[in-house]
């Protein structure tokens, strides 16, 4: 799951956050939910996991979205800290921005 979504998400996040805040969140949540749906379909069809328990699916998607929003906020706060504090201490010369 992590590699399926988070592998490309930081690049997507960088470009989407140049738009206004509301549109940015709509696009980010849409991308996340599309990835979650594709992963769900992949796991149920390929690995033949049971598709029942509708309540569990709804709860899972709800909590996954809450987790995604929290992770996105953390990334937004951590990325500048990494670029301006940690990266300098590690001795990197090239700017990321």
CA–CA distance, 43 with 18 (Å, rounded to integer): 34
Look up the pTM and report it.
0.73
pLDDT in tens, 64-80: 999 999 999 998 898 88
Tokens of 91: 């001795």
CA–CA distance, 40 with 44 (Å, rounded to integer): 6
pLDDT in tens, 22-77: 999 999 999 999 988 888 888 777 877 676 655 677 888 899 999 999 999 998 89
Domain residue ranges of the chain, discontinuous segments joined by + = 2-89
Q: ∠ at Cα 9 (6, 12), nearest 5°?
A: 175
């Amino acid at each position: 799951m992590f590699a399926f979504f988070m592998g490309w998400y930081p690049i997507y996040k960088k470009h989407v956050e140049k738009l206004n805040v509301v549109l940015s969140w709509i696009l980010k949540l849409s991308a996340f939910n599309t990835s979650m749906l594709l992963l769900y379909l992949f796991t149920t069809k390929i690995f033949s996991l049971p598709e029942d328990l509708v309540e569990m699916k709804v709860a899972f998607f709800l909590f996954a979205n809450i987790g995604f929003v929290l992770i996105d906020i953390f990334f937004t706060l951590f990325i500048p800290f990494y670029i301006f504090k940690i990266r300098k201490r590690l001795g990197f010369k090239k700017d990321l921005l």
